[in-house]
Amino acid sequence: MPVLDRVSIADPDGGTGGWTSEVGGEAGWMVLSFGGAHSLPRAWFAKDGNFGKDASLVSPPIEIAAGDAMSFWHAYDLEMGFDGGVAEISTDGGATWRDLGPAIAEGGYDATIVGGGPLAGRMAWSGGPLSAMRRVWIDLGAFAGAGRRIRFRLGCDDAVPGDGWYIDDIEFWRLGGAAPAAPRRLTATTFREDVILRWENAGAYTSLRIYRDGERIAEIDGLRLSYVDMGTAAGDHLFEVAGAWWVAEARSGAACIGCVPFRRGDVNDSGVLEIGDAISILNGLFLGAALPCVDAADTDDGGRLDLADAIFLLNHLFAGGPEPAPPLAGCGADPTRDDPLGCGESSCAL
């Protein structure tokens, strides 16, 4: 999966990749320092206008193949419903342009422009306030050919301006072949107040997404093998890493801080699922036998221990029923963090 081209505005002294500003009305696109840039310190910027504006950031000619995609990061504060931004493509050298809105696979338009600006009546990115940059993915496969041009077009009416539109890290991708498997062998260790995550990649990804307690906290380069989550070592936390392939992703097994890893269904902690595990569940329910890792006995991940867990495991072992919930294939943390069971002891933690 080679990258066809990458325009990073982190260092404009290295060139802007041939992207140019075309403007009608007020000032057009420029490069400036922006603390919220995806790749610090700079990003492209066009100011929201209050005297009418039609400003485009235009690519050089690009060759597109079937299956190609593009991504970029952006943030905006534009007068809701009156000023907005769109992505467009030209297949005739810039003579005519088509809206890329229908080809946006992730991060699509969020408003209709109802004012009298140049984008009146169209869907666009609009509104505010300014927030963290978000990634947009666009499928370019329907526009295969040479000499294609992409533009980001900001259209404004003549009143009530917002801040403007920031764009960073414009990338073109050739996504040939099958998506790689999920990252594997995720570990989480603490160093002072920080959590250090390490893993192995199963292939090249368009990006890697870091999750803490089910919430995405970062999206990083797809070749990275580690990440530091600063200031979160205190308390219990569950981490996952997802290998992203365009808009799809495959998540690793979980790693945790402050919790005990285990194997779901392996109640006897023997390393295999067997009838003895179901018997142990029944002994715990009806004879009061101690279960060192109750989470392992919660085979259906229902958040409580009951007769259904023993039946679920027996059905899997002898009637071809579904597998117990993760973690199953190997040691891992409970991905369900809202149940009261917990795991006091497991050989996975040794």
Q: What is the pLDDT of residues 8-38, one digit of tens each?
A: 443 454 557 789 998 865 678 999 999 999 8
Mean pLDDT along residues 123-148: 95
Give the CA angle between residues 271, 330, 311 to the nearest 5°: 65
Asked if the bond preceding 327 is cis, omega within 30° of 0, the reply is yes
Percent of the chain beyond pLDDT 70?
Answer: 93
Mean pLDDT over 313-323 rounds to 95
- CB burial class (10 A; 0-12, 13-18, 19+) of residue 68? buried
What integer pLDDT is reported at residue 74 of this predicted model? 96
11 against 230, higher pLDDT: 230
Q: Are 120 and 114 in contact (CB under 8 A)?
A: yes
Using omega within 30 degrees of 0 as the cis cutoff, is the peptide bond preceding 292 cis?
no
The answer to whether 266 and 317 have CB atoms below 8 angstroms apart is no
This prediction has a pTM of: 0.74
The predicted-structure confidence for 67-104, as pLDDT tens digits, reads as follows 889 999 999 999 999 999 999 999 999 999 999 999 99
Q: Which of 166, 23, 158 is nearest to 79 (CA)?
A: 158
Instruction: Render pLDDT for 178-228 as a digit per residue (tens, 0 to 9).
Output: 788 999 989 899 998 999 999 999 988 889 999 987 789 999 989 999 999
Q: Which domains can be identified in the chain, with CATH numbers?
A: 3-174 (2.60.120.260), 184-257 (2.60.40.10), 275-349 (no CATH)
Torsion of CA 48, 51, 54, 55, to 10 degrees: -50
The tokens 């041939």 sit on which residue? 18
Structure tokens given for 52: 């009418």
Using a 10 angstrom Cβ sphere, with 0-12 exposed, 13-18 middle and 19 or more buried, the burial of residue 252 is buried
- What is the pLDDT at residue 257? 85
